[in-house]
Structure 1
C-alpha cells in the first residue's frame, strides 16, 4: 500500500478491493456452475467438450474483468485467458477464472474461481470461490483468512511421517515424469499424498486443515496468488526453494515445524526442476 495512506484509508481500500473480488468471484462461479452442460463430459456434439470448457473459461474471465473495470476503471489485469492491462492505479488483478478445468470437464466438484488484488506488486486481497463446495475463501493482508465469513482453523504441524500432503502435476510429459519420481520418493515418508486438481483449492485446504501441507512445481501467478495469501493469513508458511519465495519453480505451504523438513526434502529430491 502507499506509504502516504493513513491506516484508515488503507483499511477502506482493502475493504473495497475485497468487496470487488467477492462480487466478481461469486458472479463467475455462478456462471460456471449454472452454465455447465449436464452431459459435458460425454457430449457428442460438433465441438469437443474441451472447446466448451474453453468457452466457459473465457466467458468467466470476461465477466470478471468487465465487472471490475466498471467499478475500478484504472486498475490493471493479469488473467489466465489472456486479460492483460497495465492500469494506472497501482492495483492489478490476478485472475484464474476456472482453476481445475479437468475437474470441471469431468463433473468433479474441486474447481474454483481465483481472484487476487495486488497493490504496488504485493498481493493484498485474495478470494477463492468454490461453487460446488458452497464455500468462499477470502483473505486480506494482515486481516486473517475466512471461510464463508468464519475464521479458518489450520491443523497443528505433524511430523513429516504423519503429514497428509497435497500436490499437483504439470501437463508436459517431461515434467510429469520428473514429478512422478519426486512422489515415488516422498510417498513412503509421509502419511499419504493427495492430488486434487486445483492449486487454489489445495492451498486453501491447507489453511482449512484439510491437508497438512502442499507443494507443486510449475504454477502460474494466477494459480497461486489468492491461495498463497489465504494460506499465509491462516498462519502457514509459504515459499519455494529454501530462502526463496513461492514461484513457478516450486510452491510449498505448511505450518511451522512441518514446512522446514518438507521444504528440505523437496530440495534434496530436486522437486524444483524437471
Structure 2
C-alpha cells in the first residue's frame, strides 16, 4: 500500500515557523559583528551563532512536525532523511560576510516532499526581508505576493557568480562575459537575485543542498530556468551523505538568458 502524501503546512505550523525564524534572526542580528569565527574541516567558516541557529531551528522544526519529518542541516545531520517529507536547513548562509561585518547573509529553510521543495523560507535579517514560497501557489516578499512578470519589468544586465565560478574568466580571458559580474558571497542570495530580477543569471560552482534548497523553489515559482551542470539534487537517495556533494548550476530569468550562460557553465565544469 502506498504511503499517503504529506499534507502542506497548516496555518498554525506556518505561524510557528515564522516565529522560529524571527527568533533566529533576532539572535543573529544581536551577534553580528561581535563574535569570532573558526575554520571547519572543509575550510569554510563557522561561528557559535551558526551552531546555535542550527540547533534552534532543528529543535523548532521537530516541535512543528512532532518529530515525524527528518531534518538535514549544514551543521547537523547531512544524511538524506527516510521520511517522505523532510527539511533542509542552512542556519546562516554567508558566514564569511557575517563574520567580516558585512550585513548580507540569510537563513534558509525548505521542506521537501518526494524529493522536491514544497515550502521555503529565505530570510535576510539585516535587510528585514523575508521571502516565502509554496509550491504551486507562488512567492511572497514580506507578505506581499510577487507577480512573476513584475520581476522582469526592469531588465538587469548583471550576473551573480560565486567565488569559485570566477575561474571561467581565467579560462577564457579573451572571451567577453555576457553580463556585469556581481559577487554577493551568499549562494542562496545569488539565486534569489535572479528570481526577483536583480540579476539575469547566476553561476554556482559548488553549492551544497542546503545552499540551494529554498532558492530552488523560489526560482521555480517565479518561472525562472535552472540547468544542473552535474547530477541534479532530485537524484539523491535516502541515507546518502551529502556533506561533500556539490550541485553546480546555472540559474537564469528565462530560457534565452540561460542559453547565453550555458557555454560558461560548460567552461566551469572543464
User: Which interval holds the TM-score relative to the shorter structure?
Assistant: 0.7 to 0.9
Task: Give the counterpart of 1:67 among 54, 60, 65.
Answer: 60
Whichever structure has more helix as a proportion of its residues is: 1
2:126 and 2:80 map into 1 onto residues whose CA distance is 33
Aligned to 1:43: none
Q: Aligned partners of 1:24, 1:183: CA distance in 2, in Å? A: 46
Deviation per residue, 1:225-260 (Å, 9 max, x gap): 101111111121112139x74793421111224343
User: C-alpha displacement at 1:261, in angstroms?
Assistant: 1.7
What is the root-mean-square deviation in Å for CA atoms of aligned residues? Answer: 3.1
Partner of 2:197: 209
- Normalising by structure 1, we get a TM-score of 0.78
Which structure 1 segments of 5+ residues have no match? 41-47, 171-175
Tell me, yes or no, if structure 1 residue 119 matches structure 2 residue 113. yes
Contact 1:220 1:248 in 2 (8 A): yes
Match of 1:76 in 2: 70
Equivalent residue, structure 2, for 1:25: 21
8 A Cα contact 2:90 2:210, kept in partner:
yes
CA contact (8 A) 1:80 1:222 kept: yes
Please say if 1:181 is aligned against 2:173. no
Aligned length: 249
Q: Counterpart in 2 of 1:155?
A: 152
Q: Which runs of 5+ in 2 are unaligned?
A: 40-44, 234-244
Q: Distance in 1 between matches of 2:113 and 2:12?
A: 13
Structure 2-normalised TM-score? 0.79
Task: Verify: 1:272 aligned to 2:269, yes or no.
Answer: yes
Structure 2 counterpart of 1:13, from 9, 22, 26: 9
What is the rounded CA distance, in whole Å, between the counterparts of 1:100 and 1:146 in structure 2?
22
CA distance change for structure 1 residues 15 and 205 in 2, over 3 Å: closer, same or farther? farther
2 CA distance for matches of 1:25 and 1:135?
Answer: 12
Displacement, 1:69? Answer: 1.0
Higher deviation after alignment, 249-258 or 69-78: 249-258
